[in-house]
Amino acid sequence: MTIRDEILALKKEQGAVILAHNYVAGEIQDIADFCGDSLELSVKAKHVSAPVIVFCGVRFMAETAKILSPKAKVLLPRPDAGCPMADMASAADVRAMRRAHPGAVFCAYVNSTAETKAEIDICCTSGNVENVLASVPADKEIVFLPDGNLGANMIRKTDRNMILWKGCCPVHDAVTPGMIRDARALHPGVEILVHPECRPDVVKAADRALSTGGMLKYIRESSAKEFIVGTECGILHRLRRENPDKVFYTLKPELVCADMKKLALEDVLAALKTGREEIVLPEDVMKKALLPIERMISVGR
Ligand code: 13P
Ligand code: SF4
């Protein structure tokens, strides 16, 4: 029996569901019941009725699934798969910022810890950030955390002034306008799509900034045959599988999130066999963090 077959057999036996982010390795995406971006995975986790959710992604995503599906046993097969950006805004830092801005609405990118989510007013993902910001009354000050790049890109796009946190995704922050220029010179006329976690000068130099789910949709619906993709390389697996007639180039160098790439099929199998690592969060944190996540989901995409 192959590892893949063992996983599928155990999954069936336990009634488990496997959710995977678009950045995990292709072989993991292939055994998942559902692949998606952060927003799609949150919505899926809310509606899933399985007793076990194996979350193939990083910790903040598995925590969000647990908060939305508290009765399910949520497993994170690689407990060391974190998100450096999520760790850039602690709950204590947010509490201190609240004291300095008592009237502000605190909006946190879903890439934040459960403890931090418990301290804020509304969450967003890169797939719904514009709608989330538009849902905040115009006279309210907004503190946006932890992604300073996503926030700055939104200020540029919406003209909504915000107080920005100084966090960033180290993977996307490493993209430079020079990489965009080089890619254009190498593939003239080919559209360049980047993630809104990239720096504003990069987003300005590219043609479009979209969440991973947004990129998949845009490319699926486009009549163009070639694209340059400026986000974590895991997305290429789905892009190539779903669009066999299209050609994809990456920005040089290919972008890799070390945390997303920690997970191997062996870890998924071990999680199903041992029931580890189960996400366990304090009751009060779950209760408080649910509110901003639910608010985000109700705003929609
Ligand atoms: P999305 O898939 O929501 O675009 O998020 C990207 C990301 O960095 C997740 O960690
Ligand atoms: Fe975090 Fe960036 Fe990795 Fe996403 S790609 S998990 S934001 S470090």
- DSSP secondary structure string, 217-265? HHHHH---SEEEEESBTTHHHHHHHH-TTSEEEEPSSPB--TTTTS--H
Domain 172-250 indexed as CATH 1.10.1240.10: no
Which residue among 113, 257, 262, 263 has the greatest number of ligand 2 atoms within 8 angstroms of its CB, and so is best to mutate?
257
pLDDT at 144 over 90: yes
Q: Burial level of 10, CB count in 10 A (0-12/13-18/19+)?
A: middle
300 pLDDT tier (thresholds 50, 70, 90): confident
pLDDT exceeds cutoff 90 at 141: yes
- Look up the pTM and report it: 0.96
**Closest ligand (CA of 22):** 1
Q: Is 147 in the pocket of ligand 2 (CB under 6 A)?
A: no
The overall average pLDDT reported for the chain is 97
pLDDT band of 254, cuts 50, 70, 90? confident
Ligand 1 centroid from CA 99, angstroms? 30
Residues of the chain with CATH 3.40.50.10800: 3-81+260-282, 86-167, 172-250
Nearest one of 205, 270, 195 to 233, comparing CA atoms: 195
From ligand 2's centre to the CA of 95, what distance in Å? 24
For residues 221 and 252, which has the higher predicted lDDT (pLDDT)? Answer: 221
Provide CATH code, domain 3-81+260-282: 3.40.50.10800
Higher confidence at residue 43 or residue 216?
Answer: 216
- CB 57, CB 20: distance < 8 Å: yes
Please state, in angstroms and rounded to a whole number, the distance separating the CA atoms of residues 138 and 71. Answer: 37
- Taking only Cα atoms into account, the Rg of the chain, rounded to an integer number of angstroms, comes to 19
CATH architecture of structural domain 86-167: 3-Layer(aba) Sandwich (3.40)
Q: Look up tokens 């709608």; give the residue.
A: 131
CB 183 within 8 A of CB 197: no
> How does residue 239 score in pLDDT terms, banded at 50, 70 and 90?
very high
pLDDT tens, position by position, 48-107: 999 999 999 999 999 999 999 999 999 999 999 999 999 999 999 999 999 999 999 999
Judge if the beta carbon of residue 203 lies within 6 A of ligand 2: no
What integer is the mean pLDDT of 274-300?
A: 96
- Decide: residue 253, CB within 10 A, 0-12 exposed, 13-18 middle, 19+ buried: exposed
DSSP β-bridge partners for residue 73: 52
pLDDT at 117: 98
Instruction: Please count the CA atoms within 13 angstroms of the CA of 209 that sit on its side-chain side.
Output: 27
Closest by Cα among 166, 167, 300, 180 to 231: 180
